[in-house]
A and B are shown apart, each in its own frame.
Chain A
Amino acid sequence: MSVSRYIVQIQGEKREVTIELRGQRWAITIDGEMHLVEQSVIEKDEHYSLLIEGQSFLVDLIEKNWQDGEFTVNAIAEQINVRVRDELEAVADEITRANVDEGLFVLKAPMPGIVVRALALPGETVEKGQGLLVLEAMKMQNELVTEIGGIVQEIEVKDGEMVEAGATLVRVIADDSTAGAA
């Protein structure tokens, strides 16, 4: 049988993974360390029972994006994000990442909600950790902050506007002077 290779990102780390079918079991190496895994499919692409070196786990794929290899996995009553790429895709990812402007912070809505008010104006200088906008969800007002120091470039929403999770709210461009100070 052939060996398949993947680059897997989990908790900000990259792991090299190989998969090979050996009889009834899978031989899976993670950064060179081998595990024998027996898999029983409860529902394809959804729920699996795994015996990893005989240790028993029920695992669920909660969110899945097969195209980009992005998953949210439930294991041992905890949820965690995993990104799986084959070798070619991993190289392509690197190239895309290098093109992203690192001096830009895009504030996105962490949950659906209603924009109460912006706390900074376009053109205003903000420090790292400073509040950019107040978002209300479930009767609670939440102040969302900038992760970089810089200048507010654009506020993409209006007061009172309803936004979905992941919606772009505010863009901040790093200012060399403030970045240096921070």
Chain B
Amino acid sequence: MAKEFKKVLVANRGEIAMRVIRTLRKLEIPTVAIYSDVDRQAPHVFFAEQAIPLGGRTSAESYLRIEKIIDACRQSGADAVHPGYGFLSENLEFAAALAKEGITFIGPPPEAIDVMGNKLKARACMVAAGISVIPGSDGAVSDPVEAKRLAAEIGYPIMLKAASGGGGKGMRVVRGDDKMDSALRATREEAGKSFADDAVFIERYVEKPRHIEIQVMADTHGNVIHLGERECSIQRRHQKVVEECPSPLVDDEMRSQMGEMAVQVARAVNYVGAGTVEFIVDADRNFFFLEMNTRLQVEHPVTELTTCTDLVKMQLEVAAGRRLKLRQEDVQHRGWAMEFRIYAEDPEAGFLPSTGKIALLREPTGPGIRHDSGIYEKYEVPIYYDPLLSKLVIYGENREDVIQRARQAFTEFVIAGVKTNIPFHQWILKQEAFCRGECDTHYIDDHFDAKQISHDARVPQVALIAATLAYHQHSRRLNLDSVQTEKEAQSRWKLIGRREAVSRRSTI
């Protein structure tokens, strides 16, 4: 039975909270925001109809506190929660706690989160379902002798991976037996410290890999569709920076093969809702299951633009028990889209994070430009959370058109007061390899050089003229003000004298 949500609480902050609330407002569903002590002036608080304080500053004290969020649901009468991405979006305990309260979690069933949350479990489940995974060990490896035996079987180079790892942490490439002992020890130690789980497994290391993922959507009636791929190979230290749809590497045949496999993955875990199946693609265009993200992705807008869908709306519909309106054969792909993540970091100072007040914000506009933003002018960017400020998403008829539009859009885009990676995006948009669509996941780490960031040679002169002129006028005004006050003081006496003379005459 399909239900209507009376009120939805958005358990997130920043641009994704804004994005989710936007669809809820479109559907005229009342919204509830939650916020930490430092987020009282965050834009999602203004954008929701209702806002409930969680207290605390850090994520651990606020957006990760399950009992506080359940309290906020009770207090506001919200009957569903959208978790966004990050924070509690893939947290088993949170999904279970909501279910216990009779509140709908707008996300997959807990079982799917559980399996996909652990790389070893996921791998085993996929192997059982006949999905192609990267050749590797069937379980955790702790003995270096066993590790070397497996490595010989798989073939060097291999990758050591933490079973509970993520976000590029807990991974190490090993190129020979001599490095295995120390690498295994270091990876297990790091995994134990970072993820409270020192289980490590072995996979073949794919050289020059591309990272391509498939968007899937599933309802509670057994329908699963895919909405095509996203190319996410532009990464800096395993963090995605630019994503696009379609992928320059993927043709129709490869798309339908990957799509079908992604649907199979989703079915293997009885998936419901929006999910993303990530694949590693090698130089010969062979693809292997990497992992499944059981949430809405940061980069979902590029899929929305090229398939003309609202993924948040679809999430709400399937969470309410409705059937997917879209059948696989109805999914159409049109044009090209690219997303540029705008981070508060300084590419010219080793990508050092930057915080402070947004002194000036001038957003690009025009055809094919979408800006999913979590900031506004005069907003103080807090130090406690993710440095993602916004996402500039560009749509156009083809890849070349998108690149031209993007270059233009960045010349309009001003965020001042905090440093951003906008100059980095302007750099990547000029790289020939990028324009040809040939970048693998190591491209930035191998090629980016801060010295190559170009600056407009006219800037110093224009700024010098503007500042000197303003300073000159400001000091003239100060001098003039003091002169004028004297003059005014004199003229007021005259005025009073005249008035008195007039009133005297009129009384006669």
Residues on A facing B (Cβ under 8 Å): 4, 6, 8, 10-11, 15, 17, 19, 26, 28, 30, 35, 37, 39, 45, 48, 50, 52, 55, 57, 59-64, 66, 69, 71-80, 82, 84, 86, 110-114, 137-140, 142, 165
Give A139 to B470 CA distance when docked, in angstroms. Answer: 39
19 further interface pairs, Cβ-Cβ under 8 Å (given A72-B416, A76-B456, A137-B353):
A6-B468, A6-B472, A10-B460, A26-B469, A28-B465, A45-B470, A45-B474, A59-B466, A61-B467, A62-B359, A72-B359, A76-B411, A76-B459, A79-B416, A111-B353, A111-B356, A113-B383, A137-B383, A140-B387
Q: Which chain A positions have C-beta within 8 A of B412?
A: 77
Give A17 to B374 CA distance when docked, in angstroms. Answer: 41
Give A72 to B468 CA distance when docked, in angstroms. Answer: 12
Give A30 to B466 CA distance when docked, in angstroms. Answer: 12
A43 to chain B, nearest CB (A): 11
Q: Which chain A positions have C-beta within 8 A of B410?
A: 77
Q: Which chain B positions have C-beta within 8 A of A45?
A: 470, 474
Q: Which chain A positions have C-beta within 8 A of B470?
A: 45, 48, 61, 64, 71
Give A80 to B471 CA distance when docked, in angstroms. Answer: 16
Q: Which chain A positions have C-beta within 8 A of B360?
A: 60, 62, 74
Task: Type the 1/0 row for B104-125, where 1 means its CB is closer than 8 Å to any CB of A.
Answer: 0000000000000000000000
B2 at the interface (CB under 8 A from A): no
Q: Which chain B positions have C-beta within 8 A of A11?
A: 460
A62 and B352: CB pair below 8 A? no
B496 at the interface (CB under 8 A from A): no
Q: List 11 A-B contacts (CB under 8 A).
A: A10-B460, A17-B468, A30-B461, A30-B465, A48-B466, A57-B466, A61-B470, A66-B475, A77-B362, A82-B463, A142-B352
Task: Describe A's contact surface by its main secondary structure.
Answer: strand
The residue in chain A whose Cβ has the minimal distance to the Cβ of B474 is A66
Give A60 to B468 CA distance when docked, in angstroms. Answer: 13
B195 to chain A, nearest CB (A): 15
B424 to chain A, nearest CB (A): 14
B3 at the interface (CB under 8 A from A): no
B455 at the interface (CB under 8 A from A): yes
Range for the number of chain B residues in contact with chain A = 35 or more
A138 to chain B, nearest CB (A): 4
Give A77 to B468 CA distance when docked, in angstroms. Answer: 19
Give A132 to B326 CA distance when docked, in angstroms. Answer: 58
The residue in chain A whose Cβ has the minimal distance to the Cβ of B383 is A137
Which of A11, A78, A80, A112 has its CB near the most chain B CB atoms (within 10 A)?
Answer: A78
Give chain B interface residues in 387-415, CB to chain A under 8 Å. Answer: 387, 410-414
Give A63 to B260 CA distance when docked, in angstroms. Answer: 55
Give A4 to B479 CA distance when docked, in angstroms. Answer: 14
B413 and A77: CB pair below 8 A? yes
Give A106 to B354 CA distance when docked, in angstroms. Answer: 20
Q: Which chain A positions have C-beta within 8 A of B264?
A: none
Q: Which chain B positions have C-beta within 8 A of A63?
A: 359
Which of A50, A60, A77, A80 has its CB near the most chain B CB atoms (within 10 A)?
Answer: A77
Contact partner, B463, options A4, A10, A26, A64, Cβ 8 Å:
A10
Give A107 to B336 CA distance when docked, in angstroms. Answer: 47
Task: Type the 1/0 row for B364-386, where 1 means its CB is closer than 8 Å to any CB of A.
Answer: 00000000000000000001111
The residue in chain A whose Cβ has the minimal distance to the Cβ of B461 is A30
B1 at the interface (CB under 8 A from A): no
Give A139 to B86 CA distance when docked, in angstroms. Answer: 13
A138 and B469: CB pair below 8 A? no
Give A112 to B354 CA distance when docked, in angstroms. Answer: 8
